[in-house]
Structure formats: C-alpha cells, structure tokens
A and B are shown apart, each in its own frame.
Chain A
Amino acid sequence: MTRLSVPKTYKLYIGGAFPRSESGRTYPVTGPKGEFLAHAASASRKDSRDAVVAARAAQPGWVGASAYNRGQVLYRIAEMLEGRAQQFTDEILAQRGGRRTLAAAEVESAIDAWVWYAGWADKYAQVAGNANPVAGPYFTLSTPEPTGVVAVVAPQDSALLGLVCVVAPAIVSGNAVVAVAAESAPLSAISLAEVLATSDLPPGVVNILTGAPAQIAPWLASHADVNALDLTGAGSLEWVDLEVAAAETLTRVRRPEPGVPPLTLERITALTEVKTVWHPKSTR
C-alpha cells in the first residue's frame, strides 16, 4: 500500500507558541522549480503586534539571566540544531535546490554561528565596556546594555544561515527579537523556531514571523515599543521609509546589507546602549 505524504502547514512562532496567523492567511511555499512544498502562515499587522508584546514581556527576564546562563542557552541551541542537521539540510535543498554538500555546509555554518555568538555572552561586555580615564577624583565605567526589543528583517536570499546571523547577535546581549524570516524560505525559519522552543530559551525571547516583509516591516518600524530595527535583509524593501518611520519613535536603526552578514562583535554591540556609571575614588 502506498502512503500519502502529509503536506505540513508551517505556523508562526510567537511567545513560545506556534499560532496560526491572526488573519488566517497562508501562502504556498515552492521549491526552485516551482513545485509545491508546504503552506506557511502569512503574518499580519496584529501578529506583529502580538510578537512585540511577547518580546517586551520576555525581555526583562532574559536580560536578568546571568551572562553565563544566556551563553549556555545559546550553546544548547547549537546542540539541538546539530541533532536535527539532516532535517535542515533536506529543507534547504527543497527550498533552494543546489548541491547537497552546500546545503549541509550552510547548516554547519549556522551551528558554528550559534557557538561563536554563545561564547561572547559573558565576554562582550568586558571587550566593549571600559573604565574611562577622567580628570577628577572619581572614575567612570561604561558598559554596554541590551537595547530592548529588536525587530529584525532577516536576509531574504538565505534560508537558514542569514536568519541565525541576525538573531544570535541580537539575543546574546539580552535583547528580545521579533524576526521577519525570508519570505521564500519560511520552512527553515519555523524549523529553527522548533529548535528554539526546545532549547531552554525563554518563550518570547525570539519570535519569528513568516510572510511578506513589505507588509509586516512597516508596522514593526513604526511601533513605539520596538527599540531597535535591524534592516539587514530589507535591501529590496522601501527601507528609507522604514527608517523614517522608525525615527518617529526614536528607534535605533541598522541599515540593509547584502548577503549573509559575517560574524562580528560589532553586530552584538550595535544593538546595545552604553551605560556609564560614576564612582568616587577612595581617598586613601
């Protein structure tokens, strides 16, 4: 007896749960030759609002966890991803085509990216922070602190690695993220969400929306409760308008860049704010 395959409907990832889009909309995901793969949820304005609410609720707890603990959670994500490498490779192949070795290499790079950023969790503050030289009977210390809720438009031409390379540096310092995944590759994004959901990452720290970035991003850009906007993958959108909308509510903006962003410390510190504290010197 032949067995019919069950086409999966991929849902959103908001607040640690996997809801359907509030709008009820889905869109078909196709492979490189136009063959049908699955349905994915098409996130709406209200889904983006719900995701920001979830991120805002999760952020204080996440930044309150010790840096060591955050690092351990990120390592664990890498472990879980490693365990499901086969599935991710298959999904990348299905969505993008190409050679199997290249797809496997992308999954390996994604795992490595998690590990690389996990290592920075309890180190970036020492490198990016400073004891400042001041002329006076006191000293000041500057330390980077997470910005808060970060909205991210993931690189649109990468199935998995691009998303990992924008989400990992944002959460390592204690931000909570609302990520808009690549429209053409939502399967890898939601499978990554399944990994995150089982990796001790507190619910709401990462929220993943699938659908058209052109529809979702404007609501995130103008949202007053979003503290930073990472437009890395928004190069093909009207990103200047997004930047203008973000400026209205004093949102920090990172402009688009092509391709998959490299692993850099700068990506972590770009989504932090410097806090400087003053301390009197001992008189003896």
Chain B
Amino acid sequence: MTDSTQIALAPAERAVRLLGGDVTEAALRLQLEGLPGVDGVGLEQRAAALSTRSVKEASKRAALDAIIGLTDLTTLEGADTPGRVRSLAARAVRPDPSDPSTPPVAAVCVYGDMVPYAVDALKAAGARGDGTRGEGDGARGEGAPGDGARRAGVRIAAVATAFPSGRASMGVKLADVRDAVAAGADEIDMVIDRGAFLSGRFGEVFDEIVAVAEACRRRDGGRAHLKVILETGELATYDNVRRASWLAILAGADFIKTSTGKVSPAATLPVTLLMLEVVRDWRRLTGERIGVKPAGGIRSAKEAIRYLVAVAETVGEEWLDPELFRFGASSLLSDVVLQRQRMRSGHYSGADYVAID
C-alpha cells in the first residue's frame, strides 16, 4: 500500500497545475479525500426547490428549442442496425418533419461500430460541417460562448472503453477509442472503472482517463471531445460523485456525464446539480469551463426544463450551450416535439404524430 501511493501518475496538465510537481497517487488521494462532504439533504432540498419553477409560453417555447439543441440523440441497444442508426440520424437533423423551424439536435450517440453509418447518413443529409472538426481543444477559458449556435451540423458521439460495464483490459479499451475516433467520432463517451474507484484505486482510474484522452487525438492534430461517464447509480454516495467528478476533471475530461443509461437510477436532478456545482467550483478555481451531461431516465420535456433551470441557476445561462451541457436521451426528443406541436397548434398532439424511436 505504501509503495503504490508513491507511484507517479500520468502528468495530466490540470492535475499538475492543481497538485503541483509530481502527480502521485498520494497527492491525488489527499486532494479527493480532502473535498468537503456533500450535504445530501440540502442538495435534495435545493434540487426540489429548483423543480418548482413554472415555465410558461414564450419561455417554455425557448426552453423546448434549447432542449432539442442540447440533446445527444442516443441509441445504445444490442439490436442496433445500420438502418436504425440512419433513421436516428434523419431524426437528429429534422426532429419534426412537419415543422421546418425545429432545430437539429446537438449530436447522435451510438456504439463505436455504428459511427461510419452515422457519418454517411449525416453527410448525406448535409448536416456534417467539417468546419468545426478538430477544433475541440477541451475546456476553454473565457470567451467564445455561444459558438454552439454557429456550430455546423450534428456531431457524432461514440461510447467506448467497453461501454457500459468498463470491464476490459486497458489495451482493448484504448483500441475501442482509437477505432471510434478513426471512424469519425467527434466525441468519445468513456466509462470509468467503477470497481477500481470504489476500491479506492483512484490512481488507476486517473491513469485510465488520461490514456483515453490521449487516444482521442486524431491524426490531423485535432482531438475528439472526451466525456467521462461516472455511472453515479453505482457510486453509492454523493461524496463519491463529487470525488469522481473532480477526478475526471483533473484527468482531462471535457465533459462529465452522469450515467450510461443501463443502470438504475440513471440521471437524477440532485446528482446533476452536484456535478454542476463541481463544474462551477472548477470554473472559479481555474477559469476553465467543463461540460455536464445528464443521461438516462430523462423522458419528458417537463423534467428536462427542470435541468435547464438547475443549470442556469448553478453555473449560469452561458452553460446552456451544446459545448457545455447535453442531455443524453432517446425518448425525450419525442416528448419535446409533442410539446412543440401542442404550442404551435393549440391542441394536444399524440404519439401518432411523432417519429417512433
């Protein structure tokens, strides 16, 4: 035990800045275990209070469009086929064919082997601007907010590193990442090794994220964005969620993501709020902006609006940008489209009027 704590970890830039000098397991542990504990009752109370906001008419309309523009439209099934990915891409570009004013979603999220089909489908739909590729330089300091609006087209996110369990050897995980990046993924959603994290082997988790971040580099010098999935449903306590968030940010995550969607509970408002607070603290400490992605279990527009409120109240409205906040969802889009139709037509719409997931 005493030996392992002195082992030097990969020199991730952020960790070097924060921990100073050599990044060792001991230094990392000191940092993570030195974080203040989470007031769980207060957190849940705060989340519940934020859920009571009433958002109506013009604000609701704006919120619905914002939700669509922040959505990672996801299909992560064993039964996925190229055809399903193509239809997903079509929905991503045009969520409501009956209303051309509907904005496209931020990204489609698929398994690594489905990336080529997503690339082809989005190219065919003209929704694959090359302008922003390779620009992803991780968390940025001040400036250039709102470039999401100018972002061309729909991005492609791929889950990697033996999603959803994360149980594979390091070589396999890195190959998984490189494969998806080479196929054209703009963003990589990796899972952390929860087993290692819960056993207290923070250094192992840290090194893994650093290695995956390195594997996100493209040949042309650009980098795929890295989203780190904490799988908060398996982390057991709020304190662990806070530690894991810090760990992921220190190791170089561009985004911290709640869940794979395969474990219940998936994203909850208190957990997302907690992660937003970590991101806010990191911003105060370093000026860098890290993204947050709640994923799984957000099915209704009403629920999604609560997340928007939490974001705006915790880190500010500038975070309501696809570069800094995303929803990972599959059925959410249908409900948002239904609500848009309701607001446009004045009468309630039905499931027959939106695309089948």
Number of A interface residues in the complex (CB < 8 A):
12
The chain B residue sitting closest to A221, CB to CB, is B347
Total A-B residue pairs with C-beta atoms closer than 8 Å? 28
Q: How close is A227's CB to chain B, nearest CB, in angstroms?
A: 9
The chain A residue sitting closest to B346, CB to CB, is A222
Q: In the complex, which residues 175-209 of chain A have their Cβ closer than 8 Å to any Cβ of chain B?
A: none
Q: How close is A274's CB to chain B, nearest CB, in angstroms?
A: 19
What's the Cα separation between A223 and B353 when bound, in Å?
12
Contact B351 A223 (CB under 8 A): no
Contact B347 A49 (CB under 8 A): no
**Residue in A219, A225, A245, A248 whose CB lies within 8 Å of B350:** A225
Contact A225 B347 (CB under 8 A): no
What's the Cα separation between A249 and B353 when bound, in Å?
10
Contact B351 A222 (CB under 8 A): no
Contact B347 A223 (CB under 8 A): yes
What's the Cα separation between A49 and B350 when bound, in Å?
11
Number of B interface residues in the complex (CB < 8 A):
8
What's the Cα separation between A223 and B348 when bound, in Å?
5
Interface check A224, CB cutoff 8 A: yes
The chain A residue sitting closest to B347, CB to CB, is A222
Q: In the complex, which residues 30-63 of chain A have their Cβ closer than 8 Å to any Cβ of chain B?
A: 49, 52, 56
Q: In the complex, which residues 337-357 of chain B have their Cβ closer than 8 Å to any Cβ of chain A?
A: 346-353
The chain A residue sitting closest to B341, CB to CB, is A224
Q: How close is B351's CB to chain A, nearest CB, in angstroms?
A: 7
**Chain A residues with CB under 8 A of B352:** 224-225
Q: How close is A107's CB to chain B, nearest CB, in angstroms?
A: 36
Return the CB mask of A239-278 against B: 1 if under 8 Å, else 0.
0000001001100000000000000000000000000000
What's the Cα separation between A219 and B353 when bound, in Å?
17
What's the Cα separation between A223 and B350 when bound, in Å?
7
Contact A219 B348 (CB under 8 A): yes
**Chain B residues with CB under 8 A of A219:** 347-348
Chain B, interface SS category: loop
Q: How close is A270's CB to chain B, nearest CB, in angstroms?
A: 21
What's the Cα separation between A223 and B349 when bound, in Å?
6
Q: In the complex, which residues 314-357 of chain B have their Cβ closer than 8 Å to any Cβ of chain A?
A: 346-353
The chain B residue sitting closest to A48, CB to CB, is B348
**Residue in B346, B348, B353 whose CB lies within 8 Å of A49:** B348
Contact B347 A249 (CB under 8 A): yes
Q: How close is A242's CB to chain B, nearest CB, in angstroms?
A: 12
**Chain A residues with CB under 8 A of B348:** 49, 52, 219, 222-225
**Chain A residues with CB under 8 A of B346:** 222
Q: How close is A14's CB to chain B, nearest CB, in angstroms?
A: 15
What's the Cα separation between A225 and B349 when bound, in Å?
6
Q: In the complex, which residues 206-232 of chain A have their Cβ closer than 8 Å to any Cβ of chain B?
A: 219, 222-226
**Chain A residues with CB under 8 A of B350:** 56, 223-226, 249
Q: In the complex, which residues 50-64 of chain B have their Cβ closer than 8 Å to any Cβ of chain A?
A: none
**Chain B residues with CB under 8 A of A223:** 347-348, 350
Q: In the complex, which residues 228-271 of chain B have their Cβ closer than 8 Å to any Cβ of chain A?
A: none
What's the Cα separation between A49 and B351 when bound, in Å?
13
What's the Cα separation between A223 and B338 when bound, in Å?
12
Centre residue among A224, A226, A245, A249 by max chain B CB count within 10 A: A224
**Chain A residues with CB under 8 A of B349:** 224-225
The chain B residue sitting closest to A45, CB to CB, is B348
The chain B residue sitting closest to A224, CB to CB, is B350
Contact A248 B351 (CB under 8 A): no
**Chain B residues with CB under 8 A of A222:** 346-348
What's the Cα separation between A222 and B350 when bound, in Å?
11
What's the Cα separation between A226 and B353 when bound, in Å?
12
What's the Cα separation between A58 and B347 when bound, in Å?
22
The chain A residue sitting closest to B351, CB to CB, is A225
**Chain B residues with CB under 8 A of A248:** 347
**Chain B residues with CB under 8 A of A224:** 347-350, 352-353
What's the Cα separation between A136 and B349 when bound, in Å?
42
Centre residue among B346, B348, B353 by max chain A CB count within 10 A: B348
**Chain A residues with CB under 8 A of B347:** 219, 222-224, 245, 248-249
What's the Cα separation between A52 and B350 when bound, in Å?
10
The chain A residue sitting closest to B348, CB to CB, is A223
Q: How close is B91's CB to chain A, nearest CB, in angstroms?
A: 19
What's the Cα separation between A39 and B347 when bound, in Å?
30
What's the Cα separation between A254 and B44 when bound, in Å?
50
Centre residue among B351, B352, B353 by max chain A CB count within 10 A: B352
What's the Cα separation between A245 and B346 when bound, in Å?
11
What's the Cα separation between A224 and B349 when bound, in Å?
5
Q: How close is A204's CB to chain B, nearest CB, in angstroms?
A: 15
What's the Cα separation between A56 and B353 when bound, in Å?
14
What's the Cα separation between A223 and B342 when bound, in Å?
9
Q: For the A-B complex with A224-B352, A225-B351 known, give 20 more contacts whose Cβ atoms are closer than 8 Å.
A: A49-B348, A56-B350, A219-B347, A219-B348, A222-B346, A222-B347, A223-B347, A223-B348, A223-B350, A224-B347, A224-B349, A224-B350, A225-B348, A225-B349, A225-B350, A225-B352, A245-B347, A248-B347, A249-B347, A249-B350
**14 A-B residue pairs with CB within 8 Å:** A49-B348, A52-B348, A56-B351, A222-B346, A222-B348, A223-B347, A223-B348, A224-B348, A224-B349, A225-B351, A225-B352, A248-B347, A249-B347, A249-B350
Q: Top 6 nearest A-B pairs by Cβ distance?
A: A225-B350, A222-B347, A224-B350, A223-B348, A224-B349, A224-B353
- Chain B interface (Cβ within 8 Å of chain A)? 346-353
